[in-house]
Amino acid sequence: MANPIPNSPLSFSSSGEYLAHSSPDGTLKLWQTSTATLSQEYTPSSHLSATCTCINWGPWRDAKNTPKKKKRRKSGAGESLQLVALGTQSGDVLLYSVAKGDLQSQMTDGHSDRVNDISWCQDGYKIFTCSSDRHIVEWDVLTGKIKNKWKGDKAEVYSLCLCPGDMYLLSASRSIKLWDLQKREVLKTFTGHATEVFRLLLASTSQEFSLRNSYVMSAAVNDRLLHAWNLDPSAKDKSALASFALPEEPVSMSISRYQESDKAMLLASVTQNGHLLVFEHVLNGKCKKSLQPKVSIQIATPGCKDDVPRPIPILAVHISCDNLRSLVMVYGNFLKPSIEKLEYGSLEQEVCLVRDDPSQTIVRQESEVTKIKTPDTSREVMQLAPGHMAPSQPTMTGSKKKRRKSNEMSMEDRLNAMGFDQSSDQAAPAATHPPQADTLATLLTQGLQSQDKLIINNVLQTNNEKIIKNTVRRLPVPVVIPLVKELSRRMHGHAQVGHVLIKWVKMVLTIHTSYLMTFPEIVDTLSSLYQMMDYRVGMFSRLSKLQGKLELMLSQVTSQTQDEEETVATQQPMLIYQEESSDEEMDMDDVLQSHSESEDNWEDLSDMEVNEAQEESDEALESDEAENGAEMQESESDSD
């Protein structure tokens, strides 16, 4: 399951003097809030394989107040225990020393899944962690080993809050549980949020802690209400005492730890749209209606004639514990955040602060920017530039001597004499070849960052595999995850664009697999994409069988047709009728005409003539037979 915590891992120190933040690439940065300057920066060795998921500051105090045995085991003389606990994606816990500027220790084998929250004890020698593996672990800071481990909930545990005195612990999944640490039993359960609770803050009406005068504030994912719960186990009412209404979903919140007698408790929350809302309330009983914020703060750019004022998001807030009850705001972006401190007493109900956008660099133009300024140089100095180093053109100024004819060979003649072919590709200068636009990485990055659908459509419609490969290879690392989500969203659309988008998906998975493995939350996106593709190809086997049967039938029909055509072509015709020409008709007429004349003559002959002709023919036959008999007798005598 993806992590429901909406904000990036960050934490203020207890005094609000420092801000710790871990970037998506796993780099830890410590900012000093008074000067808004980067104090320290550290990159763990496992920043890509196990990125940071949560941060919490430990209690700061000098080592001279620690027991001697413990000081000898882990800390040096005069060293202050300034530690920051980091939870990782792999389930390990890192302890970073601010005094050393390096990693102090690493605690492993406690969780099998990501660490969601960390809570420190007051003495600084124990910490409690909760994880997505549904367990809560108690660690010994000095030895780095596990002291206790138990199952915190049936679902993933997202938040922890340790009560003063280290006797009670609050854990949150979809419900909030109050634990007795000595017996590790649940004293009370609070239900009211429908989604995962990602933040718990403890508030008390006095400096001396007891469950009767203590309350816990909770914020849940996609829930616009913040709830306050009474920790008194004897109270029968397990519903929320008060609810604080927000216009958008909360991202982070801060609370004044103690409710003073003459002042109400302050609760500040940053919403998803970057607005800061401050509530003021006295915890003395149950409220029937949801409370509305007393102060609403937002930040915007000044704007000008050519630029419309734009909102600047507020990232985090911390309520300091001084008498003025000031608010420490962080706004802009975490590459170079801007930090500002405001006094709560001087704020109005609706506040809009006009500030310059820290993410943009201000370029001041000079008044005479259009004028050309030349440097002052001595006249005796000769300047060499590419234009001056070229051969000068003949001029009429200067000497009137005639130019002497040079018999030297030109460069072209020399190259021809050496056998170089200027028409070849090797001899051609590189400037003649046009630049190759074989990548769209810059255009795709701009489209994903600005959410410009027109740019994204033009880039993702590219079907050239070479351009796709070069574009994906040269993409910046922070843009890979938005590209995968955009491709997954488009793949769920019409099936006709799938044959182009599948090339992009294949290339992204081929080139950036190692980076995508560091983001378990991308599994949901890829799983939905796999299910969609599996569903679409589910009918492929049946269609393939149908296509095979149709091709077999069509091949039989085609073969039979060809056999019939070949049989007809090889058979000889029994009769050929050919239409005769006009000349042949004329000859036939002549034949017919001659035949008709003979018939006429035949009719004129008499019977005697017919008999005479018959006798002549018989005599001729008899003479022929006599000659044939004489020849046979001669041949027999010769043979004897």
What values do phi and psi take at 237, rounded to 5? Answer: -80, 115
Query: Confidence class of residue 427 from pLDDT cuts 50, 70 and 90?
Result: very low
Give the list of residues 6+ apart from residue 400 with CB closer than 8 angstroms, or none.
none
Q: What is the spatial distance between Cα 433 and Cα 343, in angstroms, rounded to a whole number?
A: 64
Q: What is the spatial distance between Cα 519 and Cα 49, in angstroms, rounded to a whole number?
A: 9
Q: Which of 147-151, 459-463, 583-587, 632-636 has the highest mean pLDDT?
A: 147-151
DSSP letters, 116-157, are EEEEE-TTSSEEEEEETTSEEEEEETTT--EEEEEE--SS--
Please check the confidence at residue 587 and state whether its pLDDT lies above 50: yes
pLDDT at 85: 93
pLDDT at 23: 86
Per-residue pLDDT, averaged over 28-35, amounts to 90
Nearest to 312 by CA among 329, 325, 326, 328: 329
Q: Could you read off the pLDDT of 313-371 as tens digits, one per residue?
A: 999 999 986 666 789 999 988 888 899 999 888 888 999 999 988 777 444 444 444 45
Please check the confidence at residue 226 and state whether its pLDDT lies above 90: yes
The DSSP bridge pattern shows strands 350-354 and 295-300 to be parallel
Please check the confidence at residue 465 and state whether its pLDDT lies above 90: no
Q: What is the spatial distance between Cα 94 and Cα 154, in angstroms, rounded to a whole number?
A: 26
| Residue of 581 and 544 predicted with greater confidence | 544
Q: Which of 174-183, 508-517, 547-556 has the highest mean pLDDT?
A: 174-183
pLDDT at 72: 43
Please check the confidence at residue 399 and state whether its pLDDT lies above 50: no
Please check the confidence at residue 4 and state whether its pLDDT lies above 70: no
Cβ pair 249, 4 in contact under 8 A: no
Query: Confidence class of residue 431 from pLDDT cuts 50, 70 and 90?
Result: very low
Residue by residue, what is the 3-state secondary structure of 64-106? HHCCHHHHHHHCCCCCECCEEEEEECCCCEEEEECCCCEEEEE
Mean pLDDT of the chain: 77
DSSP letters, 519-531, are -TTHHHHHHHHHH
Please check the confidence at residue 225 and state whether its pLDDT lies above 80: yes
Query: Confidence class of residue 133 from pLDDT cuts 50, 70 and 90?
Result: very high
| Residue of 485 and 528 predicted with greater confidence | 485
DSSP letters, 213-268, are GEEEEEEETT--EEEEEE--TT-S--S-SEEEE-SS-EEEEEE-SB--SSS-EEEE
Q: What is the spatial distance between Cα 504 and Cα 471, in angstroms, rounded to a whole number?
A: 10
Nearest to 107 by CA among 155, 140, 131: 140
Please check the confidence at residue 387 and state whether its pLDDT lies above 60: no
Least confident of 53-57, 119-123, 373-377, 490-494: 373-377
Q: Could you read off the pLDDT of 89-115 as tens digits, one per residue?
A: 889 999 999 988 888 899 999 999 999
Query: Confidence class of residue 186 from pLDDT cuts 50, 70 and 90?
Result: very high
Please check the confidence at residue 401 and state whether its pLDDT lies above 50: no
Please check the confidence at residue 406 and state whether its pLDDT lies above 90: no
Per-residue pLDDT, averaged over 406-435, amounts to 56
Which pTM was predicted?
0.56
Nearest to 34 by CA among 224, 444, 273, 318: 318
Cβ pair 131, 113 in contact under 8 A: yes
Q: Could you read off the pLDDT of 73-89 as tens digits, one per residue?
A: 444 333 456 899 999 98
Q: What is the spatial distance between Cα 595 and Cα 600, in angstroms, rounded to a whole number?
A: 9
